[in-house]
Amino acid sequence: MTRLINPRLALPVLSLVVLIVAVFWLQPRAMSYVGINLLFNLAVPIALATIAQMIIIMVNDIDLSMGAFVSLAACITAAILPVNPALGVLLLAGCVLAYAALGALIEIRQLPAIVVTLGMSFVWGGAAVLILPSPGGTAPGWLVWLMKSKPPLFPMAIVASVLIATVAHLLIMRSSFGVRLRALGGNARAVSRSGRSTVALRASAYGLAGIFAVLSGMALVGLTTSGDANIALRYTLLSIAGVILGGGEFTGGRISPVGAVIGALTLTLAGSFLSFLRLSPDWQIGAQGAILILVLAARLLVRQAEKRA
């Protein structure tokens, strides 16, 4: 049976639409070009980090160093890239290679990714403090121009989100490279029996995640205009939540890039929604958790209904 919309996507889209309607109802001022951009521009780096996390989850791993790594990329972008572009690019490329090497290490030694990435999070965090001991630095001019640009018709945040979703979708869902990566998460043994090197595949998955994470750090600096070694620590949990909200699963290589971007947008919007409700801060963490549980519970119901059908 062919359907127009992937059922895996229906729920994330629905949650996002419900939240958008609620936010517009609470705060009609948000219903404008500038308003929508203000609501969503900080979701762009989160969406990129979520795609990076999704690629790791796709190969049955989980990355607990995402926040620290994005912070490091942000520090390099703010402290080194404007002063010495060549060195900055070199360092960022080095970060991506380090990520690929981690993937290879995890596959060769059969290490649990959760332990390796947790350990690496302290390495990334330390490196970020070394590069930027106290908050500061300036974003490269072109990056600020890009992130603050005002394209016609649709705000930058929307254009960027659509672009990220499209690129990730084509790369992961449509290319043969993406199919192999997903197969590694689905059935690693079958992949190795078919003659593919699982080491190379896992390394390239981590490298690809590293590229998206570096882009996330750069986008974040473009928005904040300067860096801080602790800037993105929250991204670790946000990115995992985004993947799951967007219909991804922890095992089996079942993920959805479009859903992940929508998940990131939903998480960002949930924060604004609670803030517009004037909910006491003591309740906000709980309320954010409640929204997450609500969406996940709805997903469980949908899946059960699917099974019965």
Partner 1 sequence: MTRKGLLVTAAMVLAMGGGALADTSGKRIALSNNYAGNSWRQAMLESWKRVTDKAVADGVVGGADAFTTAENQATEQAAQIQNMILQGYDAIVINSASPTALNGAIKEACDAGITVVSFDGVVTEPCAWRVAVDFKKMGANEIAYLEKRLPEGGNLLEIRGLAGVSVDDQIHAGIEEAVKANPKFKIVGSVNGDWAQDVAQKAVAGILPSLPEIAAVVTQGGDGYGAAQAFAAAGRPTPIIIMGNRQDELKWWGEQRAKNGYETVSTSIAPGVSTLAFWVAQQILDGKDVPKDLTVPFLSVTPDTLDQALKDTPEGGVTNVDYTLEDAQKVIAGTK
DSSP one-letter string for 18-37: HHHHHHHHH-GGGSSHHHHH
Is residue 189 exposed (0-12), middle (13-18) or buried (19+ Cβ within 10 Å)? exposed
If the CB atoms of residues 106 and 215 are measured against partner 1, the closer one turns out to be 215
Q: Which of 288, 292, 296, 302 binds partner 1 (CB under 8 A)?
A: 288
36 Cβ contact list (under 8 Å, min separation 6): 30, 155, 157, 158
- CA atoms within a 13 Å half-sphere pointing along the CA-CB vector of 64: 12
CB 115 → partner 1: shortest distance, Å?
A: 24
The token pair that represents 40 in the structure block: 């969503």
Should residue 284 be labelled a site residue for partner 1 when binding is judged by CB under 8 A?
yes
Binding-site size for partner 1 (CB under 8 A) equals 40
Pick from 224, 239, 256, 266 the residue near partner 1 by CB under 8 A. Answer: 224
* Identity of the residue, 49 or 113, whose beta carbon is nearer to partner 1 in the bound complex: 49
Q: Is residue 272 involved in binding partner 1 (CB under 8 A)?
A: yes
Q: How far is the CB of 157 from partner 1 (least distance, A)?
A: 11
CB-based burial of residue 193 (10 Å sphere; 0-12 exposed, 13-18 middle, 19+ buried)?
exposed
**Structure-token match 């729920």, residue found:** 11
**Residue 277 binding partner 1, by CB under 8 A:** no
In whole angstroms, how close is the CB of 91 to partner 1 at the nearest point? 19
Pick between residue 38 and residue 123 the one whose CB is nearest to partner 1.
38
What is the rounded distance in angstroms from the CA atom of residue 77 to the CA atom of residue 75?
Answer: 5
Q: Is residue 69 at the binding interface for partner 1, with CB under 8 A as the rule?
A: no
Of the candidates 170, 285, 297, 298, which one interacts with partner 1 according to CB under 8 A?
Answer: 285
Is 233 one of the binding residues for partner 1 (CB under 8 A)? yes
Which of these ranges, 2-10, 88-96, 242-250, 264-272, lies near partner 1 under the rule CB under 8 A? 264-272
Instruction: Give the residue with the Cβ less far from partner 1, 186 or 271.
Output: 271
Task: Give the distance from CA 288 to its chain's centroid.
Answer: 18
Q: Under 8 Å CB-to-CB from 260, ≥6 apart: which residues?
A: 47, 50, 51, 53, 54, 168, 242, 243, 246, 248
Q: Which is nearer to partner 1, 195 or 281 (CB)?
A: 281
Residue 198 lies near partner 1 (rule: CB under 8 A): no
Locate 256 and state its tokens: 């959805």
x/- track of binding to partner 1 for residues 14-33 (CB under 8 A):
-------------x-xx---
What DSSP letter does each residue of 83-149 carry, written as one string?
T-HHHHHHHHHHHHHHHHHHHHHHHHHT--HHHHHHHHHHHHHHHHHHH-SSSB----HHHHHHHT-
Site for partner 1 in 110-169 (CB under 8 A): 129, 133-137
| Contact (CB, 8 A) for 108 and 197 | no
Which range in 80-88, 93-101, 102-110, 221-229 contacts partner 1 by CB under 8 A?
Answer: 221-229
Determine contact, residues 160/44, Cβ cutoff 8 Å: yes
Is residue 177 close enough to count as binding partner 1 by CB under 8 A? no
Residue whose CB is less far from partner 1, 41 or 50: 41
List interacting residues with partner 1 (CB under 8 A).
Answer: 27, 29-30, 35, 38-39, 41-42, 45-46, 129, 133-137, 220, 223-235, 268, 271-272, 275-276, 278, 281, 284-285, 288
